[in-house]
Structure 1
Amino acid sequence: MLDFLGLPDGYSERDLESAILREMERFLLELGAGFTFVARQKRISVGSDDFYLDLLFYHRQLHRLVAIELKLEKFAPAHKGQMELYLRWLDKYDRAPGEESPIGLILCASANAEQVELMDLNSANIRVAEYLAHIPDMVLLQQELHRAVALARERVIQHQLPHYTKISGESE
């Protein structure tokens, strides 16, 4: 929930980043315990090209860097490639001895759950999260909650049902 940033309509990624930095203490509390701020617009040079990672944190309990890339649009497969480049660079040039490999968080306006699942982001140490710039109305919150509960129930039922084969009617 990023409504505490007080962003006007039509804000840019730079506006979002600046608002987060203004509200760093609150943002760190939203992320959870153990995060420390490392850099804003971390310059990553690869060959003759420069890239800029939006936010870089260190997580004390995980002993690893956490790269955060902010997206105003919905998640796109290209975001995975961008984050993989950043994570590999951080792993090679910025990881200190004794630290775990860095992880990435793509914080975007929306994401298609199936698309995210098919991208196999876990194997690349990347997570995708959606943010809400403003608290939605109660009806929308209730609809989303009911949809999430129904989806969770469906997944539980699918994993609990035994698999049956048609050959001689025996279960697997």
Structure 2
Amino acid sequence: MSRDKEEVKRLSTHGQLIEKPADVIKNPYILEFTGLEECKAFSEHDLETALIDKIEHFLLELGKGFLFESRQKRFSFENRHFYVDLIFYNRLLRCYTIIDLKIGDLKHQDLGQMQMYVNYFDRYVKLDEENPTVGILLCLSKSDELVELTLPKDSNIYASEYQLYLPSKEELKKQLEDAQREWEAHHDKEIPDSN
């Protein structure tokens, strides 16, 4: 029933091909395996520790090709020290993937900080034959408009929300209904009325 029959045929033959960072970045990530309570206050350090304690589960949630390198990786310049929360390497994309954890709303300053991290890795860490570094800001909530206005269009930085628990059946049903209404509204705008 798909309109893009060639793409469906390609997927059935080869599965999902991972060719660019957007092919592996999820939104949202489900971090239920951490055991953190949704209503309890926790710090970014608590979240980071829970993820590292369950690194196998986190790697599975991240998706294909991710290899863990380090946590709280320090880099320095001009006598200032910066710490990147989590560093991964994706062997399929052949690039470093930096993850910065945020326990609240994403702010434009967070995006700027991640841009600095990505620039540093691209200039001083990655090898010439490796692809550009990918940055993922893992946050509790984000504004797509803020991300779009802050980052250049060709940016290799992604903001993804995380959920500590899957939504209830009722919440999931409501989300699906909302998405269906949004899709129909968008679809109706694209197809002019033939009358």
Identify the TM-score tier after normalising by the shorter chain: 0.7 to 0.9
Measure the CA separation in 1 of the matches of 2:160 and 2:117.
18
Measure the CA separation in 1 of the matches of 2:85 and 2:58.
14
Instruction: Identify the residue that residue 47 of structure 1 maps to in structure 2.
Output: 78
> Unaligned regions of 5+ residues in structure 2, if any?
1-29
The answer as to whether partners of 1:43 and 1:52 remain within 8 angstroms in 2 is yes
1:99 aligned to 2:130?
yes
Instruction: Identify the residue that residue 44 of structure 2 maps to in structure 1.
Output: 13
Instruction: Identify the residue that residue 170 of structure 1 maps to in structure 2.
Output: none
In structure 2, the CA distance between the partners of 1:147 and 1:119, relative to structure 1 (3 Å rule), is farther
CA RMSD of aligned residues (A): 1.8
More strand by share: 1
Instruction: Identify the residue that residue 155 of structure 2 maps to in structure 1.
Output: 124
In structure 2, the CA distance between the partners of 1:120 and 1:155, relative to structure 1 (3 Å rule), is farther
> Unaligned regions of 5+ residues in structure 1, if any?
163-172
Deviation at 1:116, TM superposition (A): 2.4
Aligned residue-pair number: 162
For structure 1, which segment, 150-159 or 107-116, has the greater mean C-alpha deviation from structure 2 after superposition? 150-159
Deviation at 1:114, TM superposition (A): 2.4
Q: Matched residue of 2:93: which SS?
A: coil
Q: Matched residue of 1:101: which SS?
A: coil
Q: Deviations over 1:13-56 (max 9, x none)?
A: 11111111111111101111100001101112131211111101
Deviation at 1:141, TM superposition (A): 2.0
Identity of aligned residues (%): 36
Measure the CA separation in 1 of the matches of 2:125 and 2:192.
47
The answer as to whether partners of 1:80 and 1:121 remain within 8 angstroms in 2 is no
Q: Matched residue of 1:131: which SS?
A: strand
Instruction: Identify the residue that residue 166 of structure 2 maps to in structure 1.
Output: 135
Instruction: Identify the residue that residue 22 of structure 1 maps to in structure 2.
Output: 53
Instruction: Identify the residue that residue 38 of structure 1 maps to in structure 2.
Output: 69
Deviation at 1:140, TM superposition (A): 1.9
The answer as to whether partners of 2:106 and 2:143 remain within 8 angstroms in 1 is yes
Instruction: Identify the residue that residue 2 of structure 1 maps to in structure 2.
Output: 31
For structure 1, which segment, 147-156 or 48-57, has the greater mean C-alpha deviation from structure 2 after superposition? 147-156
Measure the CA separation in 2 of the matches of 1:25 and 1:150.
37
The answer as to whether partners of 1:39 and 1:57 remain within 8 angstroms in 2 is yes
Deviation at 1:79, TM superposition (A): 1.1
- Which one has more relative contact order, counting CA pairs under 8 Å at least 6 apart? 2
The answer as to whether partners of 1:70 and 1:108 remain within 8 angstroms in 2 is yes
Instruction: Identify the residue that residue 86 of structure 1 maps to in structure 2.
Output: 117
Deviation at 1:113, TM superposition (A): 2.5
Letter in 2 for 1:132: Q
